[in-house]
Amino acid sequence: ESDSSYTVSCGTPVLRQGGQHRPTNSSQQCLETVAAPIKQKASFKIKDAKCHLHPRAKGKQDEAGKAGVQGGSAPCSDCQVAFVNLKCDSSKKGKGRRARNSSNKEVTRITLEFEAEIKPEEITASCNLHCLRQRVEKKLKAAIKALKKSINQERFLLRFAGMEYEVARKLSVAPERQESCGPGQQRLGGKCVSCSQGTYYHGQTEQCVPCPPGTYQEKEGQLSCDLCPRGDAFGPVGATNITGCTGQCPPGHHSADGFKPCQPCPRGSYQPEVGRALCFPCGGGLTTRHEGALSFQDCDTKVQCSPGHYYNTSVHRCIRCVVGTYQPDFRQNYCITCPGNTTTDFDGSTSVSQCKNRQCGGELGEYTGYIESPNYPGNYPANVECTWNINPPPKRKILIVVPEIFLPSEDECGDVLVMRKNSSPSSITTYETCQTYERPIAFTARSRKLWINFKTSEANSARGFQIPYVTYDEDYEQLVEDIVRDGRLYASENHQEILKDKKLIKAFFDVLAHPQNYFKYTEKHKEMLPRSFIKLLRSKVSSFLRPYK
């Protein structure tokens, strides 16, 4: 549960009233009411120790075996305890005066819950149910008393699958040099690794072992596998969930527990999944042509709905999927909700690709960053407006690279990207476009700050843009402008690819933001950038850094 607490449970608790228990017959229910289990709770303290469930060292285990510790290796024959829950907690919750002195001492509290079952068949003439309950209660109390004695003598252990586990570690005892791994973990390459799904930790071999046929394990780091409902030894090895168990009802069928023997779904109902306990009714008085129907498409609807619609069984009409939902198939009775924080532009959507993220805009001010159209690289949504503000650190100016931009040409400038000094239409404009450009362009901002706005209409949509920017030292303004205004930067396809490649643009930006790093790329990363590009930069950087040479 945490560094200072954990819980271990074994067996199955008798479900409280109102639980999901389904008695097989009324006499069993009657017996269960008469013979309610006996519950006992006990609490222990271990001084100067911390909760730590770990396998007992091998030497100690052997000694324990020789000494014949109570319980031995053979399970007890008359065990009436059906459920045990152990909680260990080392978290400090001290209050008031008593807590003052214990600041340097760790106190671990162990809480144990037992449930012992009463077997009605053991009732005799000389010992009725009340007598039997008292007898079991006495046994439990004696066991708890024995545990209390053993708790501070380091003889309080859990035994599971042939392994003994200590529940807490004394703080005065230094841990062993190669600390043993925790429960459900094996050592791999010097590290403790939890057993994966579909495996369990085998105490004797000290390794993770695949779940045998007829069992499965959904969780990591477990000490056993769960039995399939039917308890037969069929199915795959290493099953990770109950679907690996054999004998599940196929689609179009059902049973009380989802396993064979199965019945076909009656007419007027269907079931698309395997291993189900019920079938879905078609609704609205609709029926199916045969038993064992697999989906709503088998229901005899009065009209056939096309994608983007669902069949309403109350009015027997096709209804358009509302905004934020879609339906790609014919003849369905539902629409699918868009994933995450996405939504659709309009109702009647037919594909998940029409679900778009509308989030965009924000305040930017780092040395490098990027702006991108909402839902990029998918098509941006309709009727959206985004505003970004780039406010660079002191004494730095902004360089923008537009690798490519996709805006619909048939839109008569319905979708517009504009960059200017501020929101006022009369302020200095650095860049404005409503068209697609696949050739990259780089430019410096005409103002120290930039206000960027992207507005879309409700008509067409396109992929939009992802535009990186970098801020550079204003002392290098002459050099940066000299580079980005040189036509050779865009002349060859090789150079254009640099401005489109995210890894290369990062290197290019690094040189522009910190010109001294230019030598890092020309010496260490020669193969990274084309020779012609390095040649172009070399003359400019050299003349800027060494103007008198």
Q: What is the pLDDT of residues 488-500, one digit of tens each?
A: 777 777 777 778 8
| Cα angle value 293/299/303 (rounded, 5°) | 155
Beta partners for residue 187, in sequence order = 192
CB-count exposure of residue 510 (10 Å: 0-12, 13-18, 19+): middle
Is a pLDDT exceeding 80 seen at residue 79? Answer: no
* Tokens coding 496: 């254009």
Beta partners for residue 92, in sequence order = none
Measured from the Cβ of residue 218, the count of other Cβ atoms closer than 10 Å reads: 13
Are 369 and 469 in contact by the 8 Å Cβ rule? The answer is: yes
Residues 6+ positions from 9 with CB-CB distance below 8 Å: 83, 84, 85, 86
* Tokens coding 526: 């020669």
Whole-angstrom distance, CA of residue 158 vs CA of residue 174: 21
Are 510 and 537 in contact by the 8 Å Cβ rule? The answer is: no
In order of 11, 132, 154, the CA distances from 122 in angstroms are: 22, 8, 36
What backbone torsions phi and psi does residue 162 show, to the nearest 5 degrees? 80, 5
Are 256 and 244 in contact by the 8 Å Cβ rule? The answer is: no
Are 390 and 452 in contact by the 8 Å Cβ rule? The answer is: yes
Whole-angstrom distance, CA of residue 126 vs CA of residue 138: 18
Residue with tokens 């449930």: 115
CA dihedral 329, 330, 333, 335 (to 10 degrees): 30
| Size (the chain), residues | 549
* Tokens coding 131: 């007598």
Is a pLDDT exceeding 50 seen at residue 26? Answer: no
Amino acid at 149: K
Cis previous bond, 377, omega within 30: yes
The answer to which of 264-268, 376-380, 432-436, 543-547 has the lowest mean pLDDT is 543-547
Residue 430 vs residue 188, higher pLDDT: 430
Quick one: pLDDT at residue 136? 85
DSSP annotation of 242: G
Chain mean pLDDT for the chain: 82
Residue with tokens 């509308």: 358
Whole-angstrom distance, CA of residue 90 vs CA of residue 243: 39
Whole-angstrom distance, CA of residue 314 vs CA of residue 354: 28
For residue 316, is it left (φ>0), alpha (ψ between -120 and 50) or beta? Answer: left
Measured from the Cβ of residue 395, the count of other Cβ atoms closer than 10 Å reads: 10
Among candidate residues 192, 204, 116, 114, the one with its CA nearest the CA of residue 160: 204
What backbone torsions phi and psi does residue 160 show, to the nearest 5 degrees? -150, 130
Residue with tokens 């109102």: 18
Residues 6+ positions from 319 with CB-CB distance below 8 Å: 309, 310, 311, 312
- pTM score: 0.55
Buried-state track 267-289, b at ≥16 Cβ within 10 A, e below 16: bbbbbeeebbeebbebeeebebe
Query: What does the pLDDT look like over 452-485, one tens digit per residue?
Result: 999 999 888 899 999 999 998 888 888 888 888 8
Query: What does the pLDDT look like over 393-410, one tens digit per residue?
Result: 889 999 999 999 999 877
Measured from the Cβ of residue 66, the count of other Cβ atoms closer than 10 Å reads: 7
Mean pLDDT of 273-296: 94
Query: What does the pLDDT look like over 497-525, one tens digit per residue?
Result: 778 888 888 877 777 777 677 777 666 65
Are 85 and 9 in contact by the 8 Å Cβ rule? The answer is: yes
Q: Please report which confidence band the pLDDT of residue 58 belongs to, taking 50, 70 and 90 as the band edges.
A: low
Is a pLDDT exceeding 50 seen at residue 423? Answer: yes
Q: Which of 43-57, 153-167, 177-191, 432-446 has the highest mean pLDDT?
A: 432-446
Quick one: pLDDT at residue 65? 46
CB-count exposure of residue 315 (10 Å: 0-12, 13-18, 19+): exposed
Are 183 and 53 in contact by the 8 Å Cβ rule? The answer is: yes
